[in-house]
Structure formats: C-alpha cells, structure tokens
Amino acid sequence: MNVQKSFISHNNANENSETAGTLFLVGTPIGNLEDMTYRAIRTLREADLIAAEDTRQTRKLLTHFEISTRLVSYHEHNKQASGSELIRLLEEGQQIALVSDAGLPAISDPGADLVRAAVERDINVVPIPGANAALSALIVSGLSTERFFFAGFPPRDKKSLNDWLDQMNNQEGTILCYESPHRIQKTLSAILQAWGNRRIVMARELTKRHEEIARGTVEECIAWLEKQPPLGEYCLLIEGIDAVESGVYGESGAGRHSDAAWWSNLELEAHVNHYESITGNRKEAMKRAASDRGMSKRDVYNIIMKKDD
C-alpha cells in the first residue's frame, strides 16, 4: 500500500520522501499560451530540471515565459535510458517537472512509464493541472458528459482496428480518442461499418485561431472531410450505446435508435453475412452480430447452422 501526502511535513510523509525529490506533472497549453497557469510557470521555474517530450517545442514555451531551468529530453525512443536517469536524480532529491508537447503529460505518451517507476519507488508524484484536448473537446461536444471513456489512438491495421471497435461496441459512455489527419477518414468508415451511423464530433486546432468543431452523424462527417481535406490532429468523440438506445437526441439527431440499429430489418443470417463481408471471418461475423442483438454467440451459431442444414 502506498499513501502519498504531497504537502505535509517530512515527518508525516512516506519513508522515502525525506531524501527523494518530487516529480511534477505540469500541464501546458494545447495552443493558446494564455492557458498557461501561474502555478505551472512557478513550478517550471523552481524545478531543478524539466523533462520534455520535444525539447525544441518546450524551449519555445520556456523562452516565452522567461524560464531558464535546465531542459532534458524524455520521449518514447529514449524513455528507458532517460527514465532510469530521471529516477536516479529524483532519488537523490532533485525536483523534476515533466511536460509533454502540449496538454497534460502521461496521457497517451511515455510519461506514464516514468510515473509508474516513480510510484514503485515511493517518490511523490504531484499533478499541476492544465489544458487537455480530449476533455476540452468533450465539454463543447454536445454529447453526454455523465460517463465517458478515453481510448487514446485507434489501432492502425485493419484487423486490430476491427477488434478495437468490437471491444467498445457496447461502451455506454461517450468515447473519446485521438486520430491523425491521414487516418481520420478510414477510421470513420470503419466506425460506420461496425457501429452504424452514430452521432459524432470532430474537434481540431482547439484554442487556436483555426479552431474547428464539426458535429453530425458519421456519414455527414465523412462527407464533410471529402470537401474539407483533414488538417491537424483530431479529437474524435462518439456517442455511447446508452445514448443510441435511449434516443436522447430526439427525432432531429442521429441518436435515434432507428439510425443506430441499422440491422433491425435484417434477418440474422443477413446480419452475419454483412459482417463476414467486412471481416472475411465467419466466426468473427457471428460474434459481432450476437453483440449487436444482445444474444450469445452459441445461440447465433445454432440458428445459423440450422438454416444451413
């Protein structure tokens, strides 16, 4: 059991905190520099060193705020060697601030590995809150914020992407993920095939001059991207199955059950055949059809096999 008391005297802190330093996770702007907090600036100035995902990008930020703290590199390709050195410095009492290129560190970046290593060694890890692209997109999306699931970046290859979609098919809350401009159209097409024409939101360039938030159905967003070539990294938000089934968006929205349950007028065999044409795998097709209909895979198999006989 590890209980961290971040801001009490050393006499009441964990055993290692008398000698160890602190790892500060510092949120930085996702575009607009005015989103930098006073606490973040002070922390970066007072730290013994700053570990950055991209030192060139972070150096621009430090220059703007006249911060002269020593800067070191910590990213996906050097995280093992650099991470070990940062842990050593923390154990010696150094105060280290970790930043990503933009937003909160340790979310879909190697900072999570450094945090895990620090926690394992009873080193205090303190959050310095700031901007986050996914949550910023969520609160302006118009989709449900009561429950949500952050899924990072969707897999690149087709099979892994289909598996990913299958795993989250019945996710009840709003689904949040990131996607690159050269993959967004392929991902939307896969979502349409797997989940139907759900209501989604595409947000890009948040807090910047060209901030854009596109709200609509999957089909509408695909059509939009055909006319407006994708630019910049996207925050993609997809309504969850609870919103789809309850029809919370009424007759004017794509959250209607009739839109999402695209298979409702299909016979079970046609439903399975649809997925087989996409995946090329009969077993996988039965699994997906069973998930859509709330049936067991065995029941679907038995019904299909009887018809085949």
pTM of the predicted model, to two decimals? 0.76
Give the β-pairing of 148-150 and 174-179: parallel
Among 262, 205, 196, which residue's Cα sits nearest to residue 232? 205
What is the side-by-side strand order in the sheet with 124-128?
70-73, 49-52, 96-99, 22-26, 124-128
| 3-state SS, residue 3 | coil
Domain with CATH 3.30.950.10 in the chain: 134-260
Q: What is the pLDDT along the chain (309 residues), one digit of tens a residue?
A: 888 988 875 444 455 556 899 999 999 999 999 999 999 999 999 999 999 999 999 999 999 999 999 999 999 999 999 999 999 999 999 999 999 999 999 998 899 999 999 999 999 999 999 999 999 999 999 999 999 999 999 999 999 999 999 989 889 899 999 999 999 999 999 999 899 899 999 999 999 999 999 999 999 999 999 998 899 999 999 999 877 766 554 433 433 333 445 677 788 888 888 877 767 788 888 888 888 788 888 888 888 887 665
How far, in whole angstroms, is CA 23 from its chain's centroid?
23
Q: Give me the CATH code for the 134-260 domain, please.
A: 3.30.950.10
Domain with CATH 3.40.1010.10 in the chain: 10-131
Out of 3.10.20.30, 3.40.1010.10, 3.40.50.1820, 3.40.50.2300, the CATH code matching 10-131 is 3.40.1010.10
The C-alpha atoms of residue 154 and residue 188 are separated, in whole angstroms, by 11
